[in-house]
């Protein structure tokens, strides 16, 4: 790949995932502070997965058949970024929900579209995608660390009168906000995310031109329908269904880990200060960078099946540690490195698999088909089930995290078993008539 193009694709991924990583980790505690009811909170949180499902039939279709991908990306981030910034300035539910829905409807399809732009400019997806997609991981990390300084009790810092840069830094890093002040300051996450979205809107116009593709002769005019027809092949259907399971487990990590880390030890949690929660969770993204470096080599050595299986087993191991050693802060922090295996070996591998096994004229819709599970149905499932499970595991303000985390651990083991037994793709990723790939 041309070095200039590779760098642009890398920066595209940085900005794309910076946006999401800036607001997602703290929204679960922020919404209750606005006075929203549990039902209203669910509606807001479910805007993202609903957008993934809607995007499959509209946005991805337009990008496949009607508009160049980079221009579609620019428009989506321009309008979606403005909506995201608006979230920082309202406490009114109808306004907040509408702005979040607008942002999600425009943002979620861009995850598929950025993948497609990247793949369209690669010669060897297995070798090159991990490096380019690593930009997204770095973007998520970059979104977390600035809040170590934004979500700080500056009155406490001033009162301490630290002398010298080292002492000042020490006081700042130990003076994270907590409780209601932390929730109030969380509005800055939306301002930062919106700003990044507007930057990506402008940068998108500099990306390589990726035109829409007309339907190939004999193919469906509706790209999403062409993608859906691929599910008639058992190995693709199995992967699609296991992706739903893995997505639900993955989303439970984001929904529960922040609370788990921040909950006081005497309440069953780890007792991490508020300004350190996002940086600690970003350790997983640091590990993801390293994993992305070896993804191509891992795929060539282990093949599709076992790379995916190891990805799901990463979840089982991480939740196993959560369940069996909830009071060991050091071990909980260290085990965050497994996120690299969970994401790169499963989700990134799925995206590469889709690129190699699906028709090129339905590239965006094919990515969207799996994003229906990764970002849509799996997130919806977690959104409905996780709050109920959390409530059931809480007695007198104390959460039984051991019992809670055994559930996603078990589901991850089930997913790994299903793939090991039933996922048997052919060896060659070429497209035959009807979309069935022969051997690789």
Write down all domains in the chain, each with its CATH number in brackets: 3-151+186-210+222-421 (1.20.1250.20)
Rounded Cα gap, residues 156 and 257, in angstroms: 27
Q: Give 255-278 pLDDT, tens digit per residue.
A: 888 888 888 888 878 888 777 787
- What pLDDT sits at residue 429? 45
Whole-structure pTM over 0.75, yes or no? no
Identify the residue whose tokens are 């559930």: 407
Rounded Cα gap, residues 399 and 299, in angstroms: 39
Rounded Cα gap, residues 389 and 403, in angstroms: 10
Average pLDDT, stretch 399-412? 93
**Cα separation values, 237 from 51, 227, 234, 246, 386, Å:** 22, 12, 5, 14, 26
Contact 437, 234 (CB under 8 A): no
Q: Give 318-358 pLDDT, tens digit per residue.
A: 999 999 887 788 899 999 999 888 988 999 899 888 878 77
* Top-ranked range on mean pLDDT: pick from 99-113, 127-141, 219-233, 424-438: 99-113
Rounded Cα gap, residues 362 and 223, in angstroms: 5
- What pLDDT sits at residue 360? 66
- What pLDDT sits at residue 255? 83
Higher pLDDT: 55 or 346? It is 346
Contact 261, 333 (CB under 8 A): no
With H, G, I as helix, E, B as strand and everything else as coil, classify residue 146.
Answer: coil
- What pLDDT sits at residue 431? 41
Contact 118, 130 (CB under 8 A): no
Per the DSSP assignment, residues forming a β-bridge with 399 are 394
Q: Give 65-77 pLDDT, tens digit per residue.
A: 556 889 989 999 9
- What pLDDT sits at residue 103? 96
Angle at 284 between CA 308 and CA 53, to 5 degrees: 60
């Amino acid at each position: 790949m041309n070095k200039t193009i590779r760098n642009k694709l890398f920066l595209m991924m940085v900005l794309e995932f910076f946006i999401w990583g800036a607001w997602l980790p703290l929204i679960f505690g922020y919404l209750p502070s606005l006075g929203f009811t549990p039902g209203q909170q669910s509606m807001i949180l479910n805007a993202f997965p609903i957008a993934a499902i809607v995007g499959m039939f509209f946005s991805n279709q337009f990008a496949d058949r009607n508009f160049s991908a980079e221009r579609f990306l620019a428009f989506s981030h321009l309008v979606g970024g403005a909506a995201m910034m608006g979230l920082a300035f309202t406490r009114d539910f109808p306004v907040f929900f509408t702005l979040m829905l607008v942002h999600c409807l425009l943002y979620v399809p861009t995850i598929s579209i950025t993948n497609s732009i990247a793949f369209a400019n690669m010669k060897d997806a297995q070798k090159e995608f991990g490096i380019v997609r690593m930009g997204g991981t770095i973007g998520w990390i970059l979104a977390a660390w600035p809040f170590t300084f934004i979500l700080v009790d500056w009155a406490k810092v001033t009162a301490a009168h630290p002398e010298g840069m080292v002492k000042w830094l020490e006081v700042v890093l130990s003076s994270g906000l907590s409780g209601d002040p932390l929730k109030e300051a969380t509005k800055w996450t939306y301002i930062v995310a919106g700003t990044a979205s507007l930057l990506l809107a402008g940068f998108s116009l500099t990306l390589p031109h990726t035109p829409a593709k007309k339907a190939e002769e004999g193919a469906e005019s509706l790209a999403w329908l062409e993608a859906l027809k691929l599910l008639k092949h058992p190995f693709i259907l199995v992967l699609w269904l296991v992706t739903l399971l893995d997505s639900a487990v993955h989303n439970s990590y984001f929904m529960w880990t922040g609370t788990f880390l921040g909950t006081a030890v005497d309440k069953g949690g780890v007792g991490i200060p508020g300004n350190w929660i996002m940086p600690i969770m970003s350790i997983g993204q640091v590990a993801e960078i390293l994993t992305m470096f070896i993804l191509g080599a891992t795929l060539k050595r282990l093949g599709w099946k076992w790379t995916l299986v190891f990805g799901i087993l990463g979840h089982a191991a991480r939740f196993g540690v959560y369940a069996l050693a909830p009071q060991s802060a050091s071990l909980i922090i260290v085990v965050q490195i497994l996120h690299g295996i969970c994401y790169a070996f499963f989700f990134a591998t799925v995206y590469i698999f889709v690129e190699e096994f699906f028709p090129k004229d339905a590239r965006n819709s094919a990515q969207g088909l799996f994003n229906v599970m990764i970002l849509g149905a799996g997130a919806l499932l977690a959104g409905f089930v996780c709050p109920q499970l959390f409530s059931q595991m809480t007695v007198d303000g104390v959460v039984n995290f051991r019992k809670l985390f055994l559930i996603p651990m078990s589901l991850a083991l089930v997913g790994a078993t299903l793939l090991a037994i039933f996922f048997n793709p052919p060896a060659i990723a070429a497209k035959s008539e009807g979309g069935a790939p022969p051997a690789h």
